[in-house]
Structure 1
Amino acid sequence: MGTEAKAIMENTILAENESIFDKVKPHAELIAALFSGVLIGAGWLLDKNGLATASIAIYILAFIIGGFAKAKEGIEETIANKELNVEMLMVFAAIGSGIIGYWTEGAILIFIFAISGAMETYTMNKSHKEISALMDLQPEEALRVTNGVEKKVHVSELAVGDLILVKPGERVPSDGKILKGHTTIDEAAITGESLPVSKDRDDVVYAGTVNLNGSITVEITKPNSETLFQKIILLVQSAQSEKSPSQLFIERFEGTYVKVVLAVVVLMMFVPHFLLGWSWTETFYRAMILLVVASPCALVASIMPATLSAISNGAKHGILFKGGVHLENLSHLKAIAFDKTGTLTKGKPEVTDIIVADGISTNDILLHVAAIESHSTHPLANAIVNYAKKTLGESFITPESIEDVAGWGVKARIADVEWKIGKAKFVGIEAAEHFADGAAARMASEGKTVVFVKRNDLVAAIIGLQDVVRKETKQAIDDLKKQGIYTIMLTGDSQNTGKAIAKEAHLDDYIAECLPENKVEHLKEIKEKYGSVAMVGDGINDAPALATANVGIAMGEGSDVALETADVVLMKNDLPRISEAIHLSKRMNKIIKQNVIFSITVIMFLIASNFLQFVDLPFGVIAHEGSTILVILNSLRLLKS
């Protein structure tokens, strides 16, 4: 065999070994724990057959293999923090059991402790699985198009302004907007929404989403490191590393508690012998049992697995928490303040009403108005044009002349007919006010913007436009009110608009004509009245209020500033997710309370039983470590929807 062939074979074997190692590594702790269990069984059989020395050797091996991971963790943390911890209590208890000849009990302690440790590791890995899955979704290569020539490049080489071709079935490599093509995109990785979304020219696409059916040419709008996809990964990673107030309290409590337990164990080694007449063996034996049963393993494991499971559950459904503290705080909310534009509403005006003069065709008016407004970039003009396209189609007539009258409207001529489109004073205030029995005033009272249309000397029509409430908004607000949460809107719009939107959205109250600094002032007043308050927004102007609230909630399609400032991000502009997030927070806090009460009850019961000499070491080990496993399993319920 040639040298090159040998090298290829060696590299292949090495790669296969590395692959096997990568698969086994996450389960190494569990494998070691189970192997130590096998050794305990072998040691017990040897002991029963009179081979005591051999059985002790096997038990010591079980101690080392089963307890290595947790002992290493305990020693490293003790050195780093200069404080004893739960892991060290277990090490002392196992060594003490061996010293007084209870090798089987000590080995069982290590075995169950190792199993519970493996369960904790499993929980951590499960919670990180969402991140690993996300990271695997983003392609490493992209098909860049330069002067009509296609070339595969690594995504890190893409720059803003580059053009890439995304074919059907491929994932989008980076954030951008479509320049050519039409397709349907699966955005579940970003928004948690299972239904695909239709995308056309100028629509935004995100890295990690799947192009389902059409080839599209996309212009890169963000560097790879700043894509929404990367922000999601960083947000969830940050959330999983940030500890909740409950977790921080337990960790502070653990250090003091361990010292107290060790002090009581030392007293237990001597006091019962002199005061109660126990034998030295019984005294030391009871001290070792106390060391086991008084250890706060289950208490320490009551919070972190539950928090990580809840954060992972939220990420899976498009709700990103920036830390356990925010997830915990959600269940305490008494009031939620909402921005209007882009949050409760779609953020873009839409045509809601068209009223025309008698004897005039609505389609004829719409055709001429859209033909004129198609030459404008004003949001109201765009709304009218879009409505006309849906109603009449894409083709419009061409005006002979157009004049933009700044601050008033637009004047045009089509087929020797003069058209004026704009404010009431522009077309004639008296005629405008009396048109259709004062219809314009009624529209204005409903919070709508009114555009007047004049044909030659006659006011021919009025068009009502409004930033319409999202279809899911009412259900979202109703769900929050059922949870006993007060809802209020803070908007910079007029009183009429604010009143109309608040009524349609089923809100409890509204405050109109708010500047960004006013929003902060009003939010502080709401906090004083209700205590814990959330703010929901999507724009740069909402950032101060988001930072002021107890919990800031940003819409995922909002500005980068809002996303950076908020504590919770809804990856899809889906308000019902807020109610889901609050429900998840309440579930988490309920499970944490269950865990804490259960673990404390078990510890107190076992301590009392030990002092009364009702419990022996094997039962103490099984009951104590079993409670830790049950607490972790209870926390894992939060991973389910």
Structure 2
Amino acid sequence: MSKINNHDDHNHEHSHDHNHGKMPVVLYFVGLTLAIIALFLSEQYELLQNILFSIATLTAGYHVVVLEGIGETIENSKRNRRFVPNSHILMGLAALGASLIGEFWEGALLILIFSGAHFLEEYAEGRSKREITKLVEMHPTTARRITSNGKTEKINVEELKVGDHLQVRNGDQVPIDGVILSGETSIDESSINGESIPKEKTKGDPVFGSTINGNGTFTMEVTKQNEDTVFSKILTLVNQNQNNQTRVGSIIKKFEPKYVTIVLIAVTLFVILAPLLFDWPWSQSIYRGLVLLVAAAPCALAAATVSVTLSATSNLAKKGVLSKGSSYLSQLADIETISFDKTGTLTKGKPEVTNAYFSGNVEKEDLIDIIVALEKGSNHPLADAILKRFEAKHHLDIEVTNQIGKGVEGEYKGHRYRIGKPISFKNVSSEISLLNTDWASKGETVVYIAKDEEVVGLIGLMDVPNEQAQATINYFKQQGIHTTLITGDSKMTGEAVARKLGMDEVIANVMPEDKSKIINEQKEKHGITAMVGDGVNDAPALVNADVGIAMGDGTDVAVDVSDLVLMKNNLNKLVHSHRTSQKMNRVIWQNIIFSMSVVAFLVIVTFLGLTDMTLSVIIHEGSTLVVILNGLRLLRSVNHSIE
């Protein structure tokens, strides 16, 4: 099963919607107003004062304490058929207890501070969510479809079908994925790949829905249904990401009800035993117990992961990296080995001329003119690479013959010229043979050029590493992470690429069905394993890896089954993701240690009688806000690129 559908079983218990409109805030300010009025009443109106404080406590705490604290405790307990308390119930009990012992003002103040801090927390957490979900607003809704009579009609994007022809005017959003039929333009694709520089586009180039057209007008053909576009998949991944938590966050969510239960039992025992053990009066014991309830509430701990993970994934989304859940991003920080597919992942995916040699028996410029003329009439896959490297000074008109097994040949000025595989030639000098052996050992594909069947030159071609591959491998090696190249190419080619990049291990001649098994072996040998790939043949390995990472220009299957997607084939983004995941985990643990330290401190000073309920609430809620704001630091765009 794809990891896309993997969710923590407990998620439904915490999926409540905090958005009840403006009413909670209105009630809060009603409570705040009543509490302020009560404060200014003189002692002769004590009864009215206490009534106003009680109403203030109820109205200000209705959303946070009654709905979330009591309401969710009852709902979750019924669903699980056991007591599952919400942490907010602790504050409600503390406020109720304070009122029962006559401390109406302290009870109201506790709720006012707690609810006010809670609204601030929701705002802070909502900011990181908005950073991601504002993508939805960028989704185009209409398109200009070209009708059979050549006119344009404006229709909803949902009505478009594969094969429809559209007109996209300057400044418009591209409505859906497709290919340009006519026209030239530049398109801002930052919403898809995070690149700020617009990309030049012309006939035959792909375009993506939600991107912004520049000054040119073009026509395009629809190639995907609306729900299958790159942008639609981004939105799907964003939704999955918001419902998925780190392992630490999941543990905290599971542990929270048990922790609250332990606190309730401990405080009850404390209130009962303190008068017996310390000879305290019951009023002092109850008051200290209520302060202890506030001190031990795990609000900061519960918030330790939420803003951090949402901020980290939001940061990456803006950089063109999508994670299907922060648990996968968290695991990326802990990887001990990373495996790479070769073609299209570490390499450019297309061969380039890397070497060329021509003997002294021919004029180099004349031979290049002949090579270009022959390759223009060739149908073999290396022709484009050769034509990109060599430019003819004189354009020759040569009739070209393509022969399977022999290559391409043609006649010019009474001589027969041929370009083909080394194995098809017999008359080869020792110099040419030595060069062939040397270049082939470096992973290059070699072709010979012959004049009247005498080899007079050779060209070496290779699918070379892309611009970021070397620095990426260096980065992971510096981190102490084992690097492996997994390729279906020959051992010689695989080793040549790996040697060039300084990789630790090469596994070559691999069939697609074997890649998943190799990932299992990597897990057993090294530990937590990541796999980076782009093709259908990589899909089983991407699913099996602890963290599957797809190159965004790869196949839909590879993207669908992966945990992280680099929306542009840029390995810099992988390094940025790894560094961000490490920072995310560090901040999470900073928050956990800080929040638990504050709880421990408050519990100790409560036992020693060095704090009261008001001070305890201020310190407690202050620590929760610190945790939230610390997490929001990850929203800042930090330059994590590599040279």
Counterpart residue number, 1:90: 91
Counterpart residue number, 1:141: 142
- Name the CA shift for 1:29/1:414 in 2 (closer, same or farther; >3 Å): farther
- Name the CA shift for 1:633/1:363 in 2 (closer, same or farther; >3 Å): same
The 3-state SS of whatever aligns with 2:221 is: strand
Corresponding position: 1:55 with 2:49: yes
Counterpart residue number, 2:348: 346
Counterpart residue number, 1:11: none
Query: What CA distance in whole angstroms lies between the structure 2 residues aligned with 1:52 and 1:375?
Result: 101
Counterpart residue number, 1:382: 384
Map of 1:451-490 to 2, 5 A cutoff?
Answer: 451-490=447-486
Counterpart residue number, 2:557: 561
2:296 maps to a residue whose letter is A
The 3-state SS of whatever aligns with 2:467 is: coil
* Native 8 Å contact 1:344 1:505 kept in 2: no
Query: Which of 328, 331, 336 is the aligned partner of 2:330?
Result: 328
The 3-state SS of whatever aligns with 1:338 is: strand
* Native 8 Å contact 2:376 2:387 kept in 1: yes
Query: What CA distance in whole angstroms lies between the structure 1 residues aligned with 2:543 and 2:357?
Result: 44
Counterpart residue number, 1:621: 617
1:575 is displaced (CA, Å) by 0.9
- Name the CA shift for 1:161/1:265 in 2 (closer, same or farther; >3 Å): same
* Native 8 Å contact 2:534 2:550 kept in 1: yes
Cα shift readout 1:547-597 (whole Å, capped 9, x = no counterpart):
222111111111111111111111111112222212111111111111111
Counterpart residue number, 2:308: 306
Query: Which of 401, 404, 426 is the aligned partner of 1:403?
Result: 401
1:423 is displaced (CA, Å) by 1.0
The 3-state SS of whatever aligns with 1:501 is: helix
Corresponding position: 1:429 with 2:426: yes
Counterpart residue number, 1:10: none
Corresponding position: 1:261 with 2:259: no
- Name the CA shift for 1:183/1:548 in 2 (closer, same or farther; >3 Å): same
Counterpart residue number, 2:410: 412
Query: What CA distance in whole angstroms lies between the structure 1 residues aligned with 2:186 and 2:439?
Result: 37
Query: What CA distance in whole angstroms lies between the structure 1 residues aligned with 2:415 and 2:331?
Result: 63
Query: Which of 282, 294, 297 is the aligned partner of 2:296?
Result: 294
The 3-state SS of whatever aligns with 1:468 is: coil
Counterpart residue number, 1:511: 507
Map of 1:72-91 to 2, 5 A cutoff?
Answer: 72-82=67-77, 83-91=84-92
Cα shift readout 1:153-181 (whole Å, capped 9, x = no counterpart):
11111111111122222221111111212
* Native 8 Å contact 2:124 2:632 kept in 1: yes
- Name the CA shift for 1:362/1:92 in 2 (closer, same or farther; >3 Å): farther
The 3-state SS of whatever aligns with 1:270 is: helix
1:452 is displaced (CA, Å) by 1.8
Counterpart residue number, 1:602: 598
The 3-state SS of whatever aligns with 1:489 is: strand
- Name the CA shift for 1:304/1:377 in 2 (closer, same or farther; >3 Å): farther
1:421 maps to a residue whose letter is I
Query: What CA distance in whole angstroms lies between the structure 2 residues aligned with 1:375 and 1:200?
Result: 25
Query: What CA distance in whole angstroms lies between the structure 1 residues aligned with 2:364 and 2:92?
Result: 85
- Name the CA shift for 1:169/1:49 in 2 (closer, same or farther; >3 Å): farther
Counterpart residue number, 1:447: 443
* Native 8 Å contact 2:163 2:221 kept in 1: yes
Counterpart residue number, 1:19: none
Counterpart residue number, 1:131: 132
Query: What CA distance in whole angstroms lies between the structure 2 residues aligned with 1:353 and 1:224?
Result: 45
* Native 8 Å contact 1:175 1:204 kept in 2: yes
The 3-state SS of whatever aligns with 2:371 is: helix
Query: What CA distance in whole angstroms lies between the structure 1 residues aligned with 2:22 and 2:493?
Result: 59
* Native 8 Å contact 2:291 2:616 kept in 1: yes
* Native 8 Å contact 2:24 2:62 kept in 1: no
Counterpart residue number, 1:69: 63
Counterpart residue number, 2:116: 115
Counterpart residue number, 2:105: 104
1:226 is displaced (CA, Å) by 0.5
The 3-state SS of whatever aligns with 2:524 is: helix
- Name the CA shift for 1:153/1:599 in 2 (closer, same or farther; >3 Å): same
Query: What CA distance in whole angstroms lies between the structure 2 residues aligned with 1:501 and 1:137?
Result: 41
Counterpart residue number, 1:365: 367
Counterpart residue number, 1:43: 38
Counterpart residue number, 1:5: none
Query: What CA distance in whole angstroms lies between the structure 1 residues aligned with 2:57 and 2:392?
Result: 81
Cα shift readout 1:511-564 (whole Å, capped 9, x = no counterpart):
222222333333322222221121111111111111222111111111111111
1:238 is displaced (CA, Å) by 0.1
The 3-state SS of whatever aligns with 2:304 is: coil
- Name the CA shift for 1:455/1:58 in 2 (closer, same or farther; >3 Å): farther
Map of 1:541-552 to 2, 5 A cutoff?
Answer: 541-552=537-548
1:417 is displaced (CA, Å) by 4.7
Map of 1:172-187 to 2, 5 A cutoff?
Answer: 172-187=174-189
Most deviating of 166-175 and 511-520 = 511-520
* Native 8 Å contact 2:179 2:222 kept in 1: yes
Cα shift readout 1:488-517 (whole Å, capped 9, x = no counterpart):
211121222222211222323322222223
- Name the CA shift for 1:567/1:255 in 2 (closer, same or farther; >3 Å): same
Corresponding position: 1:247 with 2:249: yes
Most deviating of 512-521 and 342-351 = 512-521
- Name the CA shift for 1:554/1:256 in 2 (closer, same or farther; >3 Å): same
- Name the CA shift for 1:515/1:231 in 2 (closer, same or farther; >3 Å): same
The 3-state SS of whatever aligns with 2:349 is: strand
Gaps of 5+ in 2: 1-18, 78-83, 638-643
Most deviating of 314-323 and 219-228 = 314-323
* Native 8 Å contact 1:29 1:118 kept in 2: no
Question: Between the two proteins, what is the percent identity of the paired residues?
Answer: 41
* Native 8 Å contact 1:29 1:114 kept in 2: no
- What RMSD in Å do the two structures reach over aligned CA positions? 2.4
- Name the CA shift for 1:385/1:33 in 2 (closer, same or farther; >3 Å): farther
TM-score for both structures, normalised by structure 1: 0.90
The 3-state SS of whatever aligns with 2:186 is: strand
Alignment length (residue pairs): 611
- Name the CA shift for 1:226/1:441 in 2 (closer, same or farther; >3 Å): same
Query: What CA distance in whole angstroms lies between the structure 1 residues aligned with 2:75 and 2:401?
Result: 75
Query: What CA distance in whole angstroms lies between the structure 2 residues aligned with 1:130 and 1:366?
Result: 55
2:299 maps to a residue whose letter is C
- Name the CA shift for 1:268/1:364 in 2 (closer, same or farther; >3 Å): same
Counterpart residue number, 1:168: 170
* Native 8 Å contact 2:379 2:402 kept in 1: no
- Name the CA shift for 1:32/1:580 in 2 (closer, same or farther; >3 Å): farther
Cα shift readout 1:286-336 (whole Å, capped 9, x = no counterpart):
221122111111111112221122111111111211112111111111111
The 3-state SS of whatever aligns with 1:84 is: coil
1:25 is displaced (CA, Å) by 8.0
Query: What CA distance in whole angstroms lies between the structure 1 residues aligned with 2:591 and 2:23?
Result: 27
2:45 maps to a residue whose letter is L
Map of 1:196-207 to 2, 5 A cutoff?
Answer: 196-207=198-209
Most deviating of 584-593 and 375-384 = 375-384
- Name the CA shift for 1:66/1:429 in 2 (closer, same or farther; >3 Å): farther
- Name the CA shift for 1:99/1:350 in 2 (closer, same or farther; >3 Å): same
1:247 is displaced (CA, Å) by 1.4
The 3-state SS of whatever aligns with 1:289 is: helix
Most deviating of 116-125 and 347-356 = 116-125
Map of 1:525-536 to 2, 5 A cutoff?
Answer: 525-536=521-532
Query: What CA distance in whole angstroms lies between the structure 2 residues aligned with 1:98 and 1:273?
Result: 21
Query: What CA distance in whole angstroms lies between the structure 2 residues aligned with 1:487 and 1:518?
Result: 18
* Native 8 Å contact 2:128 2:632 kept in 1: no
* Native 8 Å contact 1:354 1:463 kept in 2: yes
Most deviating of 63-72 and 218-227 = 63-72
Query: What CA distance in whole angstroms lies between the structure 1 residues aligned with 2:139 and 2:376?
Result: 39
Query: What CA distance in whole angstroms lies between the structure 1 residues aligned with 2:378 and 2:235?
Result: 40
1:413 is displaced (CA, Å) by 4.2
Counterpart residue number, 1:315: 317
